[in-house]
Amino acid sequence: MSVEADLAAAGRRLLDPAAPPLERLATIEDPKSSARVFVAARHDAVSGVLCEESVFSLRHYDELLEQVLPGTRYLVGDDNASRQVRLRQLHAAQGWLDAQRTPAAADSEPNMAPGFRAWVSAMAREEAGAILDVLQRRARTGEPVNFVRDYAFLMAWRMARRIVGVPAAERVPGLVRLMVLARNLMRPGPALRLKDELGDAAATLIMLQPLFGLVFGTIVNGAGWMRWLSRKTATPALDAIDVALAMPDIAPHDSLLTALVAVKPGFAQVADYDLQARSVLFELTGALVLIVGKSLSELAAYAISPEGHAAGIDWDALVTRLADTHASQQDHDATVNEMLRLAGGSRLTRTVRNDCQWRGVNLKAGDRVVVLIDAASRDPAAFPDPGRFNPDPARPYITSGPLQGPHVCYGRGIAWTIMREAIAATQGRIAPAGHARLSLFAGLPDDLPFIACRQ
Ligand code: HEM
């Protein structure tokens, strides 16, 4: 069996309420490493592993990044001094931006504040409208719309460009061109071109994808070729951030990049300010371009699929719900979350800090624990009738990782807002082509056929 099949089978076993919270999965351990691998699937066990940072560390992500891009880190990493600097940078930048817009209410996280989300909403509506205006012309020619490339990833790229503020790399690396060529040779339909904004979106995605795959897909040790590919593709993306940090005037005036440069004087004691700021911008660009574009594509594909239909949701119903201006933001968030729960399928990894016993299971320092977010998302103990679409604001949002503690997803409000606006805006503009199915390339969504509607 493959690693994925072994994990899926363990996920099914562990959802049994009588099963232990963790199960050792020796079949997927690396014979060259002494680290044992455990799996968690039940919602309570997954949440426990993600929230109990004193037992389970995120240092595995730091180590994988260090092997490829020394000095670069994600906030998703061990909570050490340099992460604290990045957090302070992000909060200071966010505060600087909020001071120019509606200040956050005292009781809300700044990035979840209504003023901030209204700003993201307005921008998302504008970008979605502009892209759809161009796509609408295809109603006359009959040219198909590829929801993934022409809409989801383009929309995600444009939002990253405005919110984070990092421009596309000046030159597309040769390796990225080769990967696009391989894609064009292997996939039917219109070729992907590295021109204009569609090209910027595709190139940036390809530069970020191998590293994300390495860091979030590796359980013990990453393969040498993955490290090589990640280094080659991600380095030009980091170089583009260095250039942008040196020329902040070219970034949108209300972007995080501009804000990070503006708050720099308050960090006189931080010698490597730009290095840390570069990591923040790199991580947020990656999350926006890759995770939002991918999630938007998967969510649309699920709404069109027989599985979505069986769960009680289809495309038209989803669009109508999200376009309903009388529904509250909480209701829209619940709809997006419920779709992410049903359509998503991710896993995260943690490293055991010290020898210990956790909920009756003996663990050793260095052991890995893989948490299956997709299994936890369908745990009947947390989601009654888990296969049904039931957008209830009281449902937990495990798809965005830990629900509390230092590693709560920073961008969930941004992502939910963009996805809501992007789907609502398609009403009467583009619609799924009959029997449309999502196609993948290199593990990412690649094509989902839509058509432009006649107006
Ligand atoms: C549907 C979209 C998204 C999903 C499903 C998602 C999911 C997650 C998950 C699972 C984690 C926890 C990772 C772990 O603990 O190992 C996380 C953390 C994080 N996410 Fe998101 N995310 C989304 C969108 C975004 C966006 C748009 C941004 C940035 C603008 C973002 C920024 C972050 C950051 C910075 C963290 C790390 C928090 C920390 O450790 O301090 N995310 N996200």
Domain boundaries, the chain: 3-449
CA of 135 to the centre of ligand 1 (A): 30
For 49, the token pair is 């592993």
Query: What is the Cα–Cα distance from 371 to 362, expressed in whole angstroms?
Result: 17
CA of 184 to the centre of ligand 1 (A): 31
Query: What mean pLDDT, rounded, does the chain reach?
Result: 93
Q: For residue 139, what pLDDT is reported? A: 93
Closest residue to atom 35 of ligand 1, CA basis: 410
Q: For the sheet containing 430-432, what is the strand order?
A: 145-146, 449-452, 430-432
Please report, rounded to a whole number, the percentage of residues in the chain having pLDDT higher than 70: 98
Query: What is the Cα–Cα distance from 252 to 249, expressed in whole angstroms?
Result: 8
Query: What is the Cα–Cα distance from 127 to 159, expressed in whole angstroms?
Result: 8
Q: Which pLDDT band, with edges at 50, 70 and 90, does 107 fall under?
A: low
Tell me if 377 CB under 6 Å of ligand 1: no
Beta-carbon contacts of 159 under 8 Å, excluding residues fewer than 6 positions away, are 120, 123, 124, 127, 288, 292, 414, 418
For 290, the token pair is 């890759």
Q: For residue 127, what pLDDT is reported? A: 98
| Cα torsion angle, 223, 202, 308, 342, sign | positive
pLDDT digits (tens, 9 = 90+) for 224-281: 999 999 999 999 999 999 999 999 888 999 999 999 999 999 999 999 999 999 999 9
Q: What architecture (CATH level 2) is domain 3-449?
A: Orthogonal Bundle (1.10)
Q: For residue 404, what pLDDT is reported? A: 76
Tell me if 401 CB under 6 Å of ligand 1: yes
The stretches of 247-314 forming alpha helices (DSSP H) are 256-262, 273-286, 293-304, 306-311
- Element at 447 (helix H, strand E): strand 444-447
CA of 410 to the centre of ligand 1 (A): 6
Tell me if 289 CB under 6 Å of ligand 1: no
Tell me if 402 CB under 6 Å of ligand 1: yes
Tell me if 410 CB under 6 Å of ligand 1: yes
pLDDT digits (tens, 9 = 90+) for 184-229: 999 998 999 999 999 999 999 999 999 999 999 999 988 999 999 9
CA of 225 to the centre of ligand 1 (A): 26
Tell me if 399 CB under 6 Å of ligand 1: yes
CA of 400 to the centre of ligand 1 (A): 6
Tell me if 57 CB under 6 Å of ligand 1: no
Closest residue to atom 4 of ligand 1, CA basis: 400
Closest residue to atom 43 of ligand 1, CA basis: 409
Closest residue to atom 42 of ligand 1, CA basis: 411
pLDDT at residue 438 greater than cutoff 60 = yes
CA of 268 to the centre of ligand 1 (A): 29
Beta-carbon contacts of 355 under 8 Å, excluding residues fewer than 6 positions away, are 363, 364, 365
pLDDT at residue 113 greater than cutoff 80 = no
CA of 82 to the centre of ligand 1 (A): 19
Q: Which atom of ligand 1 is least distant from the CA of 83?
A: 41
Tell me if 156 CB under 6 Å of ligand 1: no
Q: For residue 90, what pLDDT is reported? A: 96
CA of 287 to the centre of ligand 1 (A): 7
Tell me if 287 CB under 6 Å of ligand 1: yes
Q: By mean pLDDT, which of 93-97, 226-230, 337-341 is the weakest?
A: 93-97
Tell me if 370 CB under 6 Å of ligand 1: no
pLDDT digits (tens, 9 = 90+) for 119-165: 999 999 999 999 999 999 999 998 999 999 999 999 999 999 999 99
Q: What is the pTM of this model?
A: 0.95
Tell me if 89 CB under 6 Å of ligand 1: no
Half-sphere exposure of 426 (CA within 13 A, CB side): 27
What mean pLDDT is predicted for residues 103-116? Answer: 66
Q: For residue 421, what pLDDT is reported? A: 98
CA of 81 to the centre of ligand 1 (A): 20
For 41, the token pair is 């699937």
